[in-house]
Structure formats: structure tokens, C-alpha cells
Chain A
Amino acid sequence: MSAVQGAFYYMAAASIASALLAVTRRNPVHSMLWVLALFLHVAGIFLVAGAEFLAAVQVIVYAGAILVFYLFFLMLLDLPSEVAGPRFGAHWPLCALAGILFAALAFLQAPEKEGIITGGPATGNLSAVGTALFRQFVLPFEILSLILLAAMVGAVVVAKRRTGP
């Protein structure tokens, strides 16, 4: 087993463990910090898969912006009673059963034999991504900016305090 493979299996195991801890911790802030660990390990998995730009975006956008925003929000609300109450609904065994069934069905669907693995990571990966993003996918890229703008305006409108008639 090469070093890259060892690193991959370490990051896979660590991401599964941190995801499990994230959904089972009682304190919401602890859950968030485990999700942060999960996102950083997933960024490492992206690196092993040869997606350097995706790993950078994962660290900057997911871990740096999205999760910090969730943490701000959680601390702004200040919910001391959350730690005292039960963390799961009364129906949690059914939920766990659904998750196990989903994973079992997905693994049952896995094909017996795999296709041929083609080579290692491609050279000039970042330039390939950038070229495809701004040539072939330039229209979806622009639509995406519209989606983000709509979400921003919608969030401001919904969260604004109603004043006047």
C-alpha cells in the first residue's frame, strides 16, 4: 500500500467517524466542530482524487464560510436548553433502520467487476477545470450567479423585520 493510499484510507475512516460523532453529540456546538473535522478530511480526499481546486474551495467555502456562518447562528440563538433535552426524536430507531437499509441497498447494487482504472491524476488538472468551466459550462456558471443573487435577496426579504403597514 502506497503512502497516498494509506492517507486516503485514513481520511475515509476519519471522515466516517467524525460524521457519526457529528450526528450523535448532544451539544450542538460540538456537533458543528465535528462537521468541521469532516469537511477538512473530505478536502483531503479531494486532494487524493486529484481535484486540487475542489479541495481549496471545500476548505475556503465550506469550512471557512458555510460552517462558520452556522456556528455564528447557533451562538447567536443561545440555546442552553438544547443540551438538557433529548437530542433525537422518539422515532430515532426507525431513522437508523432507514439509514442502514439505504446503505445496504446501495451496496447490494454495486457491480461485481469494476471498469479499468485509467492512470493517475491528470497533469494540468486546474487548467482543464478552468477551461471547461469558462468555455463549455459558462452558461450554467452565469445561471449559478443568478441563483446566488436570488438566494441573497430572498434571505434579506424573509429575515427583515416588518416595519410599518
Chain B
Amino acid sequence: MPPLGVFLGLSTILFAIGMVGFLARRNIILMLVSVEIMLNAINVSLAGFSHHWQDPRGQILALFVIAVAAAELAAGLGLLIALCRNRPGVNVEDLTQLKW
């Protein structure tokens, strides 16, 4: 079986890719999807911990992360629908009302 360090390295790389996607993309939907990539990276490390210590608690925490991701999707896309009703486009560089 692969050792724990490989799980953690994979998780780190996936998290970094998701972080770059969140910071760099201009499309707000793809920014939300990058958040999902980051949550998945965390789930990989939780599954690795659960396997390493033979403890089901890691898997339960990962299940909770998946449920919170579903809640985030519902709230985020609800906000996005309200946003797209008021202005066209999903480019984050156009959303500068809160910037002084």
C-alpha cells in the first residue's frame, strides 16, 4: 500500500492547483469549482490518515466535508443567480462596487 506521505503530497499538489485556479481565473463559476478542487484535496489527505491509522473517523470527517461542499454549492449558486439577474456576465473584475 502507498505510504501516508504520498497521500499528503498528492493532497498538497491538488490543493495548490485549486488555490491557483481560485486566485487566477476570471470566471466566478470556475472560481467556485476551484474551491471544490481544494475540498477534494483535503478529502484525499483525510482518507490517507484514515487508512494510515485504521480509524474510521477520518472518513467521517471527509463525509462531513462533502456535505458542507454541497451546502456551499447551494448558497454560492443562489447568490450567483441573484447576481446574474442584476448584471450580465460572470467576470469577477467587473464586480468592484465594494472597492473604494
Grouping DSSP codes into helix (H, G, I), strand (E, B) and loop, the B interface class, with mixed when no group exceeds half, is: helix
Instruction: Please give the distance in Å from A48's CB to the nearest CB on chain B.
Output: 7
Point out the residues of chain B lying under 8 angstroms from A118, CB to CB.
52-54
Within 8 A of A (CB), among B51-100: 51-54, 56-57, 59-60, 62-64, 66-75, 77-82, 84-85, 89-93
Q: Interface range on chain B: under 10, 10 to 19, 20 to 34, or 35 or more?
A: 35 or more
Is B12 touching A99 in the complex (CB atoms < 8 A)? no
Is A87 touching B56 in the complex (CB atoms < 8 A)? no
Point out the residues of chain B lying under 8 angstroms from A158, CB to CB.
75, 78-79, 81-82
The CA of A148 and the CA of B74, in the complex, are separated in Å by: 9
**Closest 3 A-B residue pairs measured CB to CB?**
A155-B78, A23-B21, A151-B71
Is B51 touching A99 in the complex (CB atoms < 8 A)? no
Instruction: Please give the distance in Å from A150's CB to the nearest CB on chain B.
Output: 8
Is B33 touching A48 in the complex (CB atoms < 8 A)? no
Point out the residues of chain B lying under 8 angstroms from A23, CB to CB.
17-18, 20-21, 24-25, 30, 34, 37
Q: Which of B33, B77, B80 contacts A31, CB < 8 Å? A: B33
Is B1 touching A156 in the complex (CB atoms < 8 A)? no
Grouping DSSP codes into helix (H, G, I), strand (E, B) and loop, the A interface class, with mixed when no group exceeds half, is: helix
The CA of A132 and the CA of B52, in the complex, are separated in Å by: 17
Known A-B contacts A49-B47, A103-B16, A156-B78; A39 and B40 likewise in contact (beta carbons under 8 Å): yes
Instruction: Please give the distance in Å from B24's CB to the nearest CB on chain A.
Output: 4
The CA of A137 and the CA of B82, in the complex, are separated in Å by: 36
Is B20 touching A161 in the complex (CB atoms < 8 A)? no
Task: Annotate B1-24 by CB proximity to A: 1 below 8 A, 0 otherwise.
Answer: 111111111101111111111011
Excluding A8-B6, A23-B30, A89-B26, 5 further A-B contacts by CB distance (< 8 Å) are: A45-B10, A45-B44, A49-B47, A53-B63, A58-B66
Please give me the residue from chain A that is nearest to B12 by CB atom.
Answer: A106
Please give me the residue from chain B that is nearest to A119 by CB atom.
Answer: B54
Q: Which of B2, B8, B40, B50 contacts A51, CB < 8 Å? A: B50
Q: Which of B32, B52, B53, B74 contacts A152, CB < 8 Å? A: B74
Instruction: Please give the distance in Å from A86's CB to the nearest CB on chain B.
Output: 7
